[in-house]
């Protein structure tokens, strides 16, 4: 399968690195509408290969590397599927265009910023028999999946509260704080919503947001509060405030704690009223976890496995929540 990458930022480089551990796919083209960006990206990739392999790559040509494209029509002719890693506000437009060109889509989060756009994309994919997935890499990590299974097994009783936090400090002039769709919740809120919706479902009764903003009105720290009636959740995201990046799932018989960084789930513990009773779980996490998401995508396209996760309701609920946040 020939995968084309739209966007040439940091995550695009990580995608290429992690794809080396997934069978059945190669990157055939890289597109960026800005003049020279794709060419510079491929040039850096070639320099990296040469540095790594040294004399073993004598005679390496650009035909063995992704083709740099500044013309989107040329790009579509070279790919069977796309990985969209462009700025947030462009995700859904590229997704729709790719589907209209009969290309499978793996799109970085946030997939869409409103419910209508998300539903339109999934409806179009279904009509054309194509795969469309949001890049929720944590969702496909073995450790996170195991944690969900344990939480839902009844060992901690009924789940009453889910608290998740993801923060990182970035410079004031960073893309995360200055793009058209910038800020903590749009950048990082998807992770907290993944934990909340995976454990409590997507049919919450109400949500409200508390935010600390900078002078430009961009949120540096946001806490989303979800009310399910008989359960609650908070999803905290921060780019200008640092906090403990853990996940806690509270139940009527015990609780689960996933230490920071919980979004790279490698270890978690089940605790009970008896403090001496603790069940620990460990799972291997290879690379930065992106390979699990890529493997899931490739296998879905090739119909090798039935998906364990139905990402459509998750992505639609996340997009709807993003719209509520923007409106607030």
> How many degrees, rounded to 5, is the angle at CA 183 between CA 166 and CA 320?
85
Task: List all residues 6 or more positions away from 268 whose beta carbon is below 8 Å from its beta carbon.
Answer: 143, 147, 150, 256, 257, 258, 259, 280, 281
* Mean per-residue pLDDT, 289-301: 96
pLDDT (tens digit per residue) in 54-98: 444 444 433 468 999 989 999 999 999 999 999 999 999 999 999
Tokens of 299: 């296998």
Tens digits of per-residue pLDDT, 182-221?
Answer: 999 999 999 999 999 999 999 999 999 999 999 999 999 9
Other beta carbons within 10 Å of 288: 12
Domains and CATH numbers, the chain: 2-135 (3.40.50.720), 142-284 (3.30.360.10)
108 DSSP β-pair partners: 135
Beta strands in 72-130 (DSSP E): 81-84, 104-108
Give the chain's radius of gyration (CA, Å): 20
- What single-letter DSSP state applies at residue 261? S
Q: Please check the confidence at residue 49 and state whether its pLDDT lies above 60.
A: no
Instruction: Find out whether 138 and 194 touch, Cβ atoms under 8 Å.
Output: yes
Which distant-in-sequence residues (6+ apart) come within 8 Å of 250 by Cβ? 156, 159, 160, 161, 162, 163
What is the pLDDT confidence band of residue 35, given thresholds at 50, 70 and 90? confident
- Tell me the whole-structure pTM to 2 decimals: 0.93
Neighbours of 122 (CB within 10 A): 19
The two three-digit tokens of residue 3, written as one number? 């995968």
pLDDT in tens, 155-166: 999 999 999 999
The span from the CA of 185 to the CA of 266, in Å, is 24
What tokens does 151 get? 């939480």
Average pLDDT over residues 289-299: 96
């Amino acid at each position: 399968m020939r995968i084309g990458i739209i966007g040439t930022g940091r995550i695009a480089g990580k995608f290429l690195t992690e794809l080396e551990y997934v069978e059945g796919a190669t990157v055939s083209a890289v597109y960026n509408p800005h003049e020279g960006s794709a060419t510079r990206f491929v040039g850096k990739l070639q320099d990296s290969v040469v540095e790594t392999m040294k004399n073993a790559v004598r005679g390496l040509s650009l035909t063995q590397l992704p083709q740099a494209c500044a013309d989107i029509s040329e790009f579509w002719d070279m790919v069977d599927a796309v990985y969209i890693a462009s700025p947030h506000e462009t995700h859904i437009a590229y997704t729709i265009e790719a589907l209209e060109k009969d290309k499978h889509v793996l799109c970085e989060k946030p997939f869409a910023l409103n419910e209508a756009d998300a539903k339109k994309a999934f409806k179009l994919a279904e009509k054309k028999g194509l795969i469309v997935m949001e890049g929720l890499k944590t969702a496909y990590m073995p450790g996170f999946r195991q944690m969900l299974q344990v939480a839902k097994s009844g060992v901690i009783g009924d789940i009453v509260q889910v608290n998740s936090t993801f923060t990182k400090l970035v410079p004031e002039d960073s893309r995360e704080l200055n793009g058209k769709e910038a800020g903590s919740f749009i950048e990082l809120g998807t992770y907290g919503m993944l934990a909340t919706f995976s454990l409590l479902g997507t049919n919450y009764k109400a949500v409200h947001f508390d935010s600390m903003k900078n002078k430009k009105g961009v949120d540096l720290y946001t806490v989303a509060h979800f009310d399910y009636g008989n359960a609650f959740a908070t999803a905290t995201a921060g780019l200008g405030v640092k906090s403990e990046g853990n996940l806690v799932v509270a139940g009527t018989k015990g609780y689960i704690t996933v230490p920071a960084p919980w979004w790279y789930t490698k270890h978690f513990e089940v605790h009970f009223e008896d403090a001496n009773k603790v069940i620990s779980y460990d799972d291997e996490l290879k690379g930065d976890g992106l390979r699990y998401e890529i493997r899931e995508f490739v296998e879905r396209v090739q119909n090798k496995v039935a998906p364990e996760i139905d990402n459509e309701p998750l992505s639609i609920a996340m997009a709807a929540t993003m719209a509520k946040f923007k409106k607030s």
